[in-house]
Amino acid sequence: MIYFSTLNSQIIAPKIRSQVAVIYDCDNEIILFSKRGDQKIHPASTTKIATLLYALQCKRNPKELVLVLPELLKSMPKEQKINLNYAVPPYLLEPDASTIGLAHSSYYAVEDLYYALMLVSANDAANVLAYHLGEQSIEQFMIGLNQFINSIGCKETTYVNPSGLEYPAHRTTAVDLAKMLTYGIKEPDFLKIVSTIFYKIESGELLDRELNNSNRLLRTESGLQYKYCIGGKTGYTEHAGYCFVGAAKNSERTLVVAVMQSPTAQDRFIDATNLFNAAFSEKRILRVFYNAHDPCFSLLPKHANHPVFLSTIEDCKIESFASLVENLEPKVQFFEATLPIKKGQILGRVDIVSANGKVVDSKSLVAVADMSHTWLSFWVEERGRLGLLVLTAFTLKMLFRSPKLKEKRG
């Protein structure tokens, strides 16, 4: 069953051919549009977003050389893997899948492997990087990768190989993929790689050293260039269909779109463009939560006979896109108040909070009028000093009486 869901009616979803799709607001980390966005799916080579993210977390020298071992290049046809019920290593390559032709016993720079991974989706580069950065263990690399992507909020993802070749346990969601790319484009090294259109490999032995980015939204000659696109990753397998996770930025907002299970290579880019345009054209609205100096709140101070009224000293309002504004909620916090109270004294705070708990604005709450002591509050505040005065008076009285008492007894 195909279904659509949006967080607000202001975004008019375009007709798309992809079976799974998500629009994600990177600035506020909220879902703007979802079509099966939380369904577990195979990610194909969009997996490599996570592979690069985690590889960069390992903080290795980009010029560090990596030795290619023959076992990392072993392959097996997909049909044979299926016949064996996938009882083979999950990272085993496939002869008809994308590689860059790394030569065994040759050395390649880590940086060159990064670009091969993302621009032309080289599965052999994924294996070599994972083995090297996992301390001679792809399995160890995948353990660290899964822990990392879970830590950045991708709770529905389990990856068993670094390339995205099909394997039963290798699953994610479009929402998680959008979160991964959102995290990535905030990292300068990651963004530099995924936004690169052309790269030439200098290290190792290769037949073709020139890499052209498979993201057609970046390329002028593709006929599909999108002027706001800042990067992304393509993917394809039989069951995943044609996939694309891309980011776009204009003067007002940054968005990530994930389109999965698209019927053709071109459709994924057309769908992504249409989704970007729908979100970028979303209307802005003004929402006023509280007007300045309106006594919208009340607080009963300790030992008071009636409450003191509070207001903000300036309008509490947000102007932004409807998808954000309509899902904001005010949260009020009152501070401890004791008499007397002066007009304008800060006695609380109102936070405007987004759907994911982020505070987007905050205003102080102040008293709209003075409030004097009550007899009880005065006694509570002054009892220490009054007690001291009484004690002092009693002591002095006893001192002045003492000589007379002695004289009388004598």
* First-to-final CA distance of the chain: 111
Same domain (yes/no): 321, 203: no
Same domain (yes/no): 274, 337: no
Q: Which of 255, 282, 309 is the last residue of a domain?
A: 282
What CA–CA distance (Å, rounded) separates 253 from 74? Answer: 44
Same domain (yes/no): 229, 354: no
Tell me whether residue 372 is in a domain: no
Q: What does each C-alpha distance from 162 to 43, 206, 379 come to in angstroms?
A: 11, 22, 72
CATH number of the domain encompassing residue 321: 2.60.410.10
pLDDT tens digits for range 357-385: 889 999 999 999 999 988 887 777 776 56
Mean pLDDT of 253-277: 97
Write the DSSP string, 321-332: EHHHHTT-EEEE
Tell me whether residue 245 is in a domain: yes
Q: What are the residues facing 363 on neighbouring strands?
A: 350
The total domain count for the chain is: 3
Tell me whether residue 373 is in a domain: no
Tokens of 235: 């993917």
What CA–CA distance (Å, rounded) separates 155 from 168? Answer: 18
Tell me whether residue 377 is in a domain: no
The pLDDT mean for the chain works out to 91
Is residue 267 within 8 A of residue 242, CB to CB? The reply is yes
pLDDT of res. 207: 84
Q: Which of 243, 258, 282 is the last residue of a domain?
A: 282
pLDDT of res. 384: 57
Is residue 282 within 8 A of residue 6, CB to CB? The reply is no
How does residue 6 score in pLDDT terms, banded at 50, 70 and 90? very low
Same domain (yes/no): 102, 238: yes
Same domain (yes/no): 390, 325: no
Tokens of 327: 């899902």
Same domain (yes/no): 123, 267: yes
CATH number of the domain encompassing residue 77: 3.40.710.10
How does residue 8 score in pLDDT terms, banded at 50, 70 and 90? very low
Same domain (yes/no): 84, 36: yes
pLDDT tens digits for range 161-207: 999 999 999 999 999 999 999 999 999 999 999 999 999 999 988 88
pLDDT of res. 9: 41
How does residue 3 score in pLDDT terms, banded at 50, 70 and 90? very low
Q: Which of 267, 282, 297 is the last residue of a domain?
A: 282
Tokens of 21: 């799709």
Same domain (yes/no): 188, 320: no
Residue tagged 């982020």 (tokens): 358
Percentages helix, strand, coil for the chain, rounded to the nearest 5? 35, 25, 40
Tokens of 25: 């607001």
Is residue 232 within 8 A of residue 248, CB to CB? The reply is no
Tell me whether residue 376 is in a domain: no
Tell me whether residue 130 is in a domain: yes
Same domain (yes/no): 156, 231: yes
Same domain (yes/no): 104, 139: yes
Mean pLDDT of 58-85: 96
Tell me whether residue 127 is in a domain: yes
Tell me whether residue 379 is in a domain: no
Nearest alpha carbon to residue 41 among 202, 136, 158: 158
What CA–CA distance (Å, rounded) separates 171 from 89? Answer: 16
How does residue 7 score in pLDDT terms, banded at 50, 70 and 90? very low
pLDDT of res. 334: 96
How does residue 317 score in pLDDT terms, banded at 50, 70 and 90? very high
Structural domain boundaries enclosing 399: 384-410
Same domain (yes/no): 254, 330: no
Write the DSSP string, 71-136: GGG-B--HHHHHHTTT-S-TT-B-TTS----PPTT-EEEHHHHHHHHHHS--HHHHHHHHHHHTTS
Same domain (yes/no): 169, 213: yes
Is residue 137 within 8 A of residue 131, CB to CB? The reply is yes
What CA–CA distance (Å, rounded) separates 308 from 335? Answer: 12
